[in-house]
Amino acid sequence: MGHESCRLWDEDWREWVTDRARGLVLEIGAGDGVNLSYYHLDAQVIATEPDSESLELISEYEDNVTLAQADAENLPFPDGSFDAVVGTLVFCTIPDAARALQEVRRVLKPNGSLRLVEHVRASNRIGRALMQLANPVWHLMTGGCNINRDTLEAVRAAGFQVRQVNRQKMGLIVGIDAFK
């Protein structure tokens, strides 16, 4: 599969999010697998996704990718298994984001890396209030997405050390580079 041109910011953000992922890598909420062709070939990737129909779409993939059906809140892997975890546009949808982040932390090795690209709520008061107000309708219309999440704060609250934050589109899109 070729790299689709998803330019939410100046560089290709799917390239950014997968760039440091080496060794044994977990991707959560992989959807239809759009990130999978971006990983370095020396990364061994386990791509998880709860939705069986999406998983079927990615049933054939590169040799370095294995698929598994799983919610991020209940990851079927032992503690300290992964060198890196990657997720894109997924913490807006995971029903219990705090629990998912604890699970991500549990399965990461010490110093393991977490890279996410997520859309988040506005940082100014009015924008935040409008998003809060619109969220119930948005959630219904999109089948589970939330526009009122503060994923950066949630990552910090889960105990990760944040190394870099890449804010784009007036801060509504954030790239988060963190470690355990």
- Binding residues for ligand SAM, per CB under 6 A? 28-31, 34, 49-51, 54, 71-73, 88-90, 93-95
Cα angle at 69 between 63 and 74, to 5 degrees?
125
| CB nearer ligand SAM, residue 72 or residue 122 | 72
Residue 26, C-beta contacts closer than 8 angstroms, at least 6 positions apart = 45, 46, 48, 75, 77, 81, 82, 84, 85, 86, 104, 107
Which residue has its beta carbon closest to ligand SAM? Answer: 31
Provide, rounded to whole angstroms, the least separation between the CB of residue 11 and ligand SAM.
Answer: 16
Which residue lies nearer to ligand SAM by CB, 31 or 112?
31
**Distance of alpha carbon 125 from alpha carbon 96, whole angstroms:** 24
Rounded Cα–Cα distance for residues 80 and 95 (Å): 24
Closer CB to ligand SAM, residue 3 or residue 124? 3
Find the shortest distance in angstroms from Cβ 122 to ligand SAM. 19
Q: Is 53 or 124 the residue whose CB approaches ligand SAM more closely?
A: 53
